[in-house]
Structure formats: C-alpha cells, structure tokens
Amino acid sequence: MNETKFLVDNNALVMLTGSRIRSDFFRESCRVTADVLWEASENPENSLLADIVIATTPALLEQIRVVMKSVEPGDMGLVDLYKNLGAADPGLVASVLEARAADDGKFFADKWVLVTNDQAVEKLAAAFGVPTLKPKQLAERIDAQLGITST
C-alpha cells in the first residue's frame, strides 16, 4: 500500500512540540536526513529522531550531486558554507529523489513530501517536482491523528 511520507527539515522540527514528534504518526510517517539529525542535536527529541533517520548511501550522494548541478555557481541562497548555512538543504531534495528512485517500478510507491519553512529549499524542491508542506500544516495533520482540534 502506498503511503505519504514526510521528510522534515530542522527548521520544521523546531516548530513541532515534543508530543507531536513522539506521536505514532510522526514515527511512522516522518523521516529526517542524517544532516538534519546533526543540526537537531540540541532537540530534546533527538534520540527519537535517530530512529527515523535516512542513512547516507552512495546512491544518495549521487542524488546530491544531481541536485547541486542545478544550483548556479555563486548562488548562496541555498547553501552558504562560509556562513555555515544550508549544508543539509540539498540532501533534503536529494533524499526524496533517492526514495522515489528506490520505489521506481513498485506498484504502490510512497508519495514523499518535504516539510520546510525555507524558501530556497521550497524553490529547489519545486524545480525537481517535489511537493512541500509548511511545518504548521504538518502539525495540523499530526494533531488530527491525535484527535486534537485547534481553536
């Protein structure tokens, strides 16, 4: 059966409460990259995040190469290593591309959605046909699964 999986950026994690991250929905439907896990090292739920990390594999590194080829030289909007900004961002899009490639040929492939609050990541995701969701929208989905209604 195909499912929707959510790849969560660190800027989205900081907007989610611990109860959301500890939820069954989050553990079953959400993933983080190894880079996001490193960025989230101060998150109180870091040990739980380690259980849902997507491993860095040679195939994933190849997808990062593909993603980075699409970034114009000198464009610091996505990654600015001099300021230590965005190092995990290309890996987010690449991870979705690799997950799709791994499901290629499956009758019921998972749908992947990138959850971020970063406009540069959203723009890159759109260029590769990767749907995005704002952290607030993911929080609402988790709350609905938990039976919590917003006021």
Taken in order of first residue, the domains within the chain and their CATH numbers are 4-146 (3.40.50.1010)
Residue 63 — pLDDT band, cuts 50, 70, 90?
very high
146 vs 25: which has the higher pLDDT = 25
pLDDT at res. 74: 67
User: Alpha helices, DSSP H only, in 17-134?
Assistant: 18-21, 24-29, 34-39, 46-50, 58-69, 89-103, 119-127
Residue 80 has pLDDT above 60, yes or no: no
Do β-strands 53-54 and 4-8 pair in parallel, antiparallel, or remain unpaired? unpaired
Residue 17 — pLDDT band, cuts 50, 70, 90?
confident
- Give the span between the Cα atoms of 62 and 81, in whole angstroms: 20
Residue 150 has pLDDT above 70, yes or no: no
Tell me if residue 78 falls in helix, strand or coil. Answer: coil
- pLDDT tens across 106-134, in order? 888 889 999 999 888 999 999 999 999 99
The secondary structure of residue 108, as a DSSP letter, is: S
Residue 99 has pLDDT above 70, yes or no: yes
Residue 86 — pLDDT band, cuts 50, 70, 90?
low
Q: How does the average pLDDT of the chain come out, rounded?
A: 88
